[in-house]
Structure 1
């Protein structure tokens, strides 16, 4: 006998509000639930994990809090706008702190570059490394701003599911040379190879190869300069928890430890979901915050796909995998005083390493690392006097021939990461190690159901972006919508939160609310 969910809020059920099921309590799913709740839907959010936040959640180990995924907040106004739609004040619920400098980049030759919001200071940083590149930097900022207004404020905040919409913007794409890669554009503005790296690596934060991803993504430099880089006290987990609180206050419901086995269709329309245990939930609208590949290949496995077939997914290029070592250190709060909140350690190669990761699928002997040390801002991440870190290394995903056997090689690679950290950033690290946790592409595959263990879903190349990316409104089933990193506009906190804004413009407003369909 089918079990019916009786845990939905009684008041909302009695009001006869249409039911929206959101699969996944990542940031995109939570934002979608907030917007649907504000539109008058009775919302159920389902997630198989034990905490909300998805890749932005956290783990607790021996008094240390490890932020598992995103560590910085850019474009904070998109969160404030989301809260405002729900009649709430973001800054009342979340303590957001500016981080300055944003991050420090270090090269093997000992040179460093400190990125910050002050344009004059940034100009001097460029001048210090390469006096002849100051004019190029100023032009790069203008280039970045132009792409921000078009790529983020225009395309990134509206649906791109109609081919006609693509045709309309092609001239603008051509004028902005979207066919050129991020690195190629940086190389036109900077002569110094270190600066070419410093102003082209940002696509790695959303799973893209800087040597192949469209130059539209240089807009990140404008985001940083215009809006700054921020940290949420309590980590991104604190944002996710606050989002869940808004959903509950709206009369919605968040169910954890609840996996979804299949999206149910009737007459070509999404009508609900079947849970892992067999329970079926009826719905008027289904929103998937699961990876787009998982949504189409697994959750819709019993239905023929017109566009996102297995063959098409197999032809797609996926973002790289991630090796992340989370570790605590004992008695180090006053140690390593030159190590800030965010540090990027470059290996001896840039293009060669990227090619190994994205094209060859080879685990290289050398590496570049992003190191997160939140305890310099948020002492609550570790016991008094201790530190909490994570070190992230981009690695190949699991869909290459002879892919990495992480069960066999994971600890050896962790030791290599430790050796790099001890040599270049944290001398004596091994003498202070506390709790430790490692995530590999295997973890991303098993924990987040990410195809091929990719860190950021489908890679944001030009022919896998905008119209060419899985759409926010599905062509495979009426009443099915997608949010999150695998859909338009893409990965990263601004992208996944914006995907929910796009969704809200596509989902009809319930007639009972007295508002016409949007």
Structure 2
């Protein structure tokens, strides 16, 4: 039985802790804040309750597997999973709106044909077929296996089978998601639908590789899910599973260093000068934090995937509305910008510009989220990690944009709260409150994440800033990979 110190209580760290404990190890989790869950936080006021982090769950099979492998009670016995249908509603710049059924390719094709015109659905359906091929080519190396030592193969090879496109007497293939939208979908609304999958992750679709086609494929193939009571309930369930497996927790315990002895990690040191010895250390922290914890012991070497420094964060506006949610309201509505190019320039361009943002409006209709005959609504948008204008100004702009989806919003508004990238930084420790992106192939490897193993034997990285990257599902996969590497050793070849 090994002693394992886990730094941080984010979802990747908790997933690893539960799996390691059930394998017979003595696991202790040290969290600098006063609670668990990382970005999965909850804000409550006047009987209203809001998720302040991820609000929907893709690939619930990741957490179903966690609960199967760590106890007798399945995930559904611990939380109530609800399939979101429609998966999303989209309001485009020209005012056209479409609701997309959950996990139904035929239903999506029909909905797009009806809303956008004959042929639109077929073009999107054909795109999803190609996206599935990219998924099949990258699923195991990007999600289910430790990062390959020859990761350059993933960096240099574009897995998306782009359709040949004739342009200026030349035949070209789309290399970016924006080119896929322009050349293969051939409708600005379909292009906006596609590009939003990158933008929602804080990525510029103009330079994001075509391999990002796996993001819409995953949603359409595996569905979108909500946890009744809010996504914080998922964090609670995983935390309680850790407790049931005898994982120890110390909150308010700030780790300031990783100890090293005889060339390997040997424990952690805390802000008060005390230490906890361990045979393995699992760090669920952002790259800058890990660098500080291992000062003098580089964890990445030349030729390895470098740590990402994401540039984008999230601004979230929590709205308390009087009056009940209307029957048939979509859980998630995406209100697309009036000027995508200006929005992308404002987010990713060298010159600062103010532009109409794309805003996601979340209206879960969960009776636990608001007092009777009232509604809790959450607005989110992508912002630079260091916004160049006041967050209150941005929030007011978001509310104006959201009125395209909720026309009576201002008349019903009781109060609002703003959650900024600085709040994310406080909860997660990520520099500037930036949010890690899922690992993607191609693009020279700039969207890959560092290996879970490090150059310091006995030290492992877990969570959104390590392989396979950001997102709730990816965090759970990261936990499974780290547990496998510790339990089975360096010959571990991935989950089955």
Contact 1:126–1:133, Cα closer than 8 Å, also in 2: yes
- 2: distance between equivalents of 1:38 and 1:308? 36
SS at structure 1 position matched to 2:200: helix
Report the aligned-residue RMSD: 2.8
What's the CA shift for 1:191?
A: 1.0
| Correspondences of 1:330-369 after superposition (within 5 Å) | 330=322, 332-335=323-326, 339-360=329-350, 362=352, 364-369=354-359
Q: Are positions 1:275 and 2:270 aligned together?
A: yes
Instruction: Pick which of 341-350 and 498-507 moved more.
Output: 498-507
Contact 1:465–1:490, Cα closer than 8 Å, also in 2: no
Instruction: Pick which of 116-125 and 359-368 moved more.
Output: 359-368
Contact 1:64–1:383, Cα closer than 8 Å, also in 2: yes
- 1: distance between equivalents of 2:288 and 2:118? 46
Contact 2:438–2:470, Cα closer than 8 Å, also in 1: no
Contact 2:438–2:468, Cα closer than 8 Å, also in 1: no
- Alignment match, 2:45: 61
- Alignment match, 2:190: 195
- Alignment match, 1:445: 425
- 2: distance between equivalents of 1:269 and 1:75? 35
- 1: distance between equivalents of 2:351 and 2:434? 12
Q: Deviations over 1:231-266 (max 9, x none)?
A: 111222111111111111111112223222222222
- Alignment match, 1:3: none
Q: Deviations over 1:265-299 (max 9, x none)?
A: 22332211122333311111111111133212x22
TM-score normalised over the length of structure 2: 0.88
Which of 17, 21, 25 is the matching residue for 2:9?
25
Which of 17, 27, 31 is the matching residue for 1:47?
31
- Residues 305 and 35 from structure 1, CA distance in 2 versus in 1: closer, same or farther, beyond 3 angstroms? closer
- Residues 35 and 465 from structure 1, CA distance in 2 versus in 1: closer, same or farther, beyond 3 angstroms? farther
Contact 2:200–2:382, Cα closer than 8 Å, also in 1: no
- Alignment match, 1:321: 313
Contact 2:130–2:160, Cα closer than 8 Å, also in 1: no
- Alignment match, 1:11: none
What's the CA shift for 1:339?
A: 3.9
SS at structure 1 position matched to 2:9: coil
- Residues 205 and 61 from structure 1, CA distance in 2 versus in 1: closer, same or farther, beyond 3 angstroms? same
- 2: distance between equivalents of 1:249 and 1:466? 39
TM-score normalised over the length of structure 1: 0.84
- Residues 361 and 285 from structure 1, CA distance in 2 versus in 1: closer, same or farther, beyond 3 angstroms? farther
Which of 132, 148, 165 is the matching residue for 2:119?
132
Contact 2:158–2:210, Cα closer than 8 Å, also in 1: no
Query: What is the aligned length?
Result: 477
- 1: distance between equivalents of 2:106 and 2:71? 38
- Alignment match, 2:108: 122
- Residues 141 and 306 from structure 1, CA distance in 2 versus in 1: closer, same or farther, beyond 3 angstroms? closer
What's the CA shift for 1:338?
A: 6.2
SS at structure 2 position matched to 1:131: coil
- Alignment match, 1:258: 253
- 1: distance between equivalents of 2:236 and 2:373? 27
- Residues 306 and 186 from structure 1, CA distance in 2 versus in 1: closer, same or farther, beyond 3 angstroms? same
Contact 1:319–1:458, Cα closer than 8 Å, also in 2: no
Q: Are positions 1:147 and 2:137 aligned together?
A: no
What's the CA shift for 1:325?
A: 1.0
- Residues 161 and 473 from structure 1, CA distance in 2 versus in 1: closer, same or farther, beyond 3 angstroms? farther
Contact 1:72–1:230, Cα closer than 8 Å, also in 2: yes
- For structure 2, the residue ranges without an aligned partner over 5 or more in a row are 163-172
Contact 1:162–1:467, Cα closer than 8 Å, also in 2: no
- Alignment match, 1:426: 406
Q: Deviations over 1:22-53 (max 9, x none)?
A: 11211111111111112221111222233321
- Alignment match, 1:7: none
Q: Deviations over 1:427-463 (max 9, x none)?
A: 3433433353212222223332212321226986845
Contact 1:28–1:496, Cα closer than 8 Å, also in 2: yes
- For structure 1, the residue ranges without an aligned partner over 5 or more in a row are 1-16, 511-515
| Correspondences of 1:271-310 after superposition (within 5 Å) | 271-296=266-291, 298-304=292-298, 306-307=300-301
- 2: distance between equivalents of 1:172 and 1:517? 21
Contact 2:264–2:459, Cα closer than 8 Å, also in 1: yes
Which of 366, 380, 386 is the matching residue for 2:374?
386
- Alignment match, 1:415: 396
- 2: distance between equivalents of 1:175 and 1:334? 41
Higher helix share: 1
- Residues 292 and 237 from structure 1, CA distance in 2 versus in 1: closer, same or farther, beyond 3 angstroms? same
- 1: distance between equivalents of 2:56 and 2:438? 21
SS at structure 1 position matched to 2:382: strand
- Residues 458 and 200 from structure 1, CA distance in 2 versus in 1: closer, same or farther, beyond 3 angstroms? closer
- 2: distance between equivalents of 1:363 and 1:53? 35
